[in-house]
A and B are shown apart, each in its own frame.
Chain A
């Protein structure tokens, strides 16, 4: 996708907020949605005017649950983006969808609007686990949705699953993994549950009781890679797996320092020099006060991000890429850290690349923190 930028559109609406979710999202009235989309369009128009490079290699509708709003609204936004930006021919166009919230009509509109990738939030094939998570669908309902998506002709589909769910066992997780892999999606995101502050889960599980223990959690993580490998999926990032060629371009963009514009409440943007965050306050956003702050990144900020984002990927970072980006040798900056981490077996240096070892992946934060100044 050469060096084109990316666009992220945040749709903060849900049928019901899940108990573990800490994204800016919630349940909203139709008229609020209407006002929101109006503001969204204004932001896109206004900010596109000052965008120096209008080429776009990927568009991603995230949420919330983008699929619960009228498909027409999504199409409107995409149409506007097409007018205001230059969407590349091979652009990846993703929308997140939850089971029960899509119909064949909606999917048809998505297709017409140019969407070519659907990411479905499943989390588990076990209904009791879905209930624990506060999801509003059953596994059977997911299967129906998945079928609709395939029937509508989408040939690039992601399924989100989750490990370390309260009450989940190694066996039940293996079953979810195998069941999902058997469905043959192009991409699987497998996240280990993070109990985030401010969520109902935090109150319930902050002391760790009721969650699978650490050894089980790690086993789940390691088994994800080995089991999915049997089905032809490769891990390409800490929590992402894909059939060769189906790695998510949009997310790879985040980890490789690509430019992106985020529209909507709480959306983040990066123009190659500053990182902008929009307001998290829905009313403020609707009122036209989109931006919360922009932080200009220094050279060291960028170097740090190059390292800690790049190391998320299985292939790691490229030494020549470092030199190209910053005009200096990576050893002039990080010689001590690289040696130390290599000695501890946390990173591997292989030819042109440096990446996390298996142990290093388990304690990625410890490794990444070493690269912070």
Chain B
């Protein structure tokens, strides 16, 4: 089919505004799948994604639409991840498209993520057209939302299709809009191959499957290819396009098309998202713009609860990484927790997803340490180290100064909550940038925030202070100099490496005190008194005491009680087995993680 009849597009929306449901309807209406074959939300095919209602990996599907003008069009719908952690993946997916459907909830209107994604799409020169969804809701107000879209984003919205993806209302209007408003791709089949990698996944039969948008040239079986950034080379084994949930081989992919390439590549790290695939023997002059090496934003220690499961954890991480090049890990040893890994993630959601997958899909019990960001430590000898594990902080006498990552944050919130949201940002060391009212009742607040202030529970705090209405988006701004210290925790006068963390100097006392209080709750009483101390460089700044156990005895135990009392003792013993020994103190695994949630209490 010629390029004029191809439409490469994506759907962008705030979380829960109905992106995946609309995608389902499009796939359904274009007839590639019967209704019976449809699982609810075809695109989100990881269980976890379906449960959380978010898209983690970009999914792509090719369908055929017979338009009202009687001609058939190929639709390549490229689904984009819906979370700020995966911003880079989003940008690469967008770069593979020529247009974007902006889905806006008819009741909720524009949200922070909507804006962020629209701007990202406009940055990529995509033609964006809006769709107003959920018109069936009683609180739907499509007119107001249309005005809002025009006022805030500045794109035509009065003729936007008003639909209910859930109930299949007016979906055909969307399909016609795709034909008429998304431009056909351009490019030159005869030019040297130039293809953008927007995703890849590992398949145990085919090896790595590379998702590409062909910008120029042609690729087919036998083409020698080269990844321009990683330098990896291979010979193409198969090319094809994306059926819903399956790979359909074809003869060749040429300029303007979206499809996949397999080439017996063993490792997704060789096919980095954003890299350019070219013909190894007839390379293009320049790679496509925008490639970035994926960098971990958040690090934490991941340990098996049962030390004997270390090899299982390693295998699981290895397998997960096959499909997730953005997951980083390296072996690490902790005095308190034994053998484990320091893992790097794109953000806290990414961390949570990996943790859940390890526990759920690989059946592992994990202990994770407090997540931290990457600090830059400038030493007096001129050397700079990137610190991912607080324990590795050099001696203070060797440190000249330190820097921490900061983000540009955009928060959208209704008028009544502006005060409390600003207060929250101030508490988190935010630097006010600007505030504007995007409509009478809603403000867009911009702050520069240190990343380490938002990785724990910022999102929860935001939600609870705005009764769930605030939406939030951020991107990395860079590094800024900051007064940071390492806070150590001592249990019964022994320093516990797994509990150390880096903190802003002025917040150290507060956090130290909260840590001690929390640990006091978590550590069971022993036969002796246990001091819990927070210290900076050997100087104790906060202290709590777990009092010695005075009483642990059952007054009664007669014939009828024996079974029940025995269970109680067994449970007590079992609980002890699951504890970590710090000196002569038994610390529950839970204690290492509960200290992550210190705020809001």
Contact = CB atoms under 8 A, between A and B. Distances in A.
Interface of A: 8, 10, 191-194, 214-215, 217-218, 238-239, 251, 254-255, 260, 262, 266-270, 275, 277, 295, 304-305, 308-309, 312, 344, 346, 359, 361-366, 368-370, 372
Nearest to B574: A372
Given A254-B562, A344-B527, A372-B573, A362 B555 contact: no
Given A270-B559, A369-B572, A372-B573, A305 B566 contact: yes
B553 A361 contact: yes
Interface stretch (B31-39, B94-102, B515-523, B544-552): B544-552
A194 B568 CA distance: 14
B563 A363 contact: no
A364 B555 CA distance: 10
A140 B468 CA distance: 62
B31 to A, nearest CB: 59
A262 B558 CA distance: 12
B524 to A, nearest CB: 10
Given A268-B559, A370-B573, 19 more contacts: A192-B553, A192-B555, A194-B555, A239-B556, A254-B558, A260-B559, A262-B559, A267-B560, A268-B560, A270-B559, A270-B562, A346-B527, A361-B553, A362-B550, A362-B553, A365-B568, A365-B572, A368-B569, A372-B570
A370 B527 CA distance: 14
B560 A266 contact: yes
Contacts of A8: 559-560
Contacts of A218: 550-551
Nearest to A366: B552
Contacts of A270: 559, 562
A19 to B, nearest CB: 17
B308 interface: no
Given A218-B550, A364-B552, A369-B569, A309 B527 contact: no
A268 B565 CA distance: 13
30 contacts: A8-B559, A215-B550, A217-B551, A218-B550, A238-B555, A251-B558, A254-B557, A262-B559, A262-B560, A266-B560, A268-B562, A268-B563, A269-B559, A270-B562, A275-B563, A277-B560, A277-B563, A305-B562, A308-B566, A312-B557, A346-B527, A359-B527, A361-B553, A362-B550, A363-B551, A363-B552, A365-B554, A366-B527, A369-B572, A372-B566
A292 B436 CA distance: 70
A128 B30 CA distance: 80
Contact of A191 (B527, B550, B556, B576): B556
A372 B550 contact: no
A268 B552 CA distance: 25
Nearest to B572: A369
Interface residues of B, number: 23
Contacts of A308: 565-566, 569
A362 B551 contact: yes
Contacts of B527: 344, 346, 359, 363, 366
Given A277-B563, A344-B527, A365-B569, A191 B553 contact: no
Interface string B525-559: 00100000000000000000000011111111111
B566 A304 contact: yes
> Max chain A CB contacts within 10 Å: which of B527, B549, B553?
B553
Contacts of B557: 254-255, 309, 312
Contacts of A366: 527, 549, 552, 572
A346 B552 CA distance: 12
Contacts of A359: 527
7 A-B pairs with the lowest CB-CB distances in the bound complex, closest first: A369-B572, A364-B553, A372-B573, A268-B560, A363-B552, A191-B555, A369-B573
Contacts of B569: 304, 308, 365, 368-369, 372
A254 B559 CA distance: 6
Contacts of A238: 553-555
Interface in B548-601: 549-560, 562-563, 565-566, 568-570, 572-573, 576
Nearest to A344: B527
A120 B586 CA distance: 43
A266 B564 CA distance: 12
B574 to A, nearest CB: 8
Contacts of B570: 369, 372
Contacts of B576: 369
Nearest to B576: A369
A6 to B, nearest CB: 8
A182 B39 CA distance: 80
Nearest to B549: A363
A312 B562 CA distance: 12
Contacts of A346: 527
B552 A362 contact: yes
Nearest to A191: B555
Nearest to B561: A268
B567 to A, nearest CB: 10
A173 B31 CA distance: 83
A29 B99 CA distance: 79
Nearest to A251: B558
Nearest to B563: A275
Contacts of B566: 304-305, 308, 372
A207 B422 CA distance: 37
Contacts of B568: 365
A308 B569 CA distance: 9
B549 to A, nearest CB: 6
> Max chain B CB contacts within 10 Å: which of A304, A362, A366?
A366
A268 B562 CA distance: 9
Contacts of A191: 555-556
B554 A194 contact: yes
A95 to B, nearest CB: 15
Interface string B441-467: 000000000000000000000000000
Contacts of B562: 254, 268, 270, 275, 305, 309
A330 to B, nearest CB: 18
A327 to B, nearest CB: 22
A346 B551 CA distance: 13
A344 B566 CA distance: 23
Contacts of A305: 562, 566
Nearest to A266: B560
Contacts of A365: 552-554, 568-569, 572
A93 to B, nearest CB: 16
Nearest to B570: A372
Nearest to A194: B555
A153 to B, nearest CB: 27
Interface string B234-269: 000000000000000000000000000000000000
Contacts of B556: 191, 194, 239
Contacts of A239: 555-556
Given A308-B569, A344-B527, A372-B570, A295 B553 contact: no
> Max chain A CB contacts within 10 Å: which of B551, B554, B565?
B551
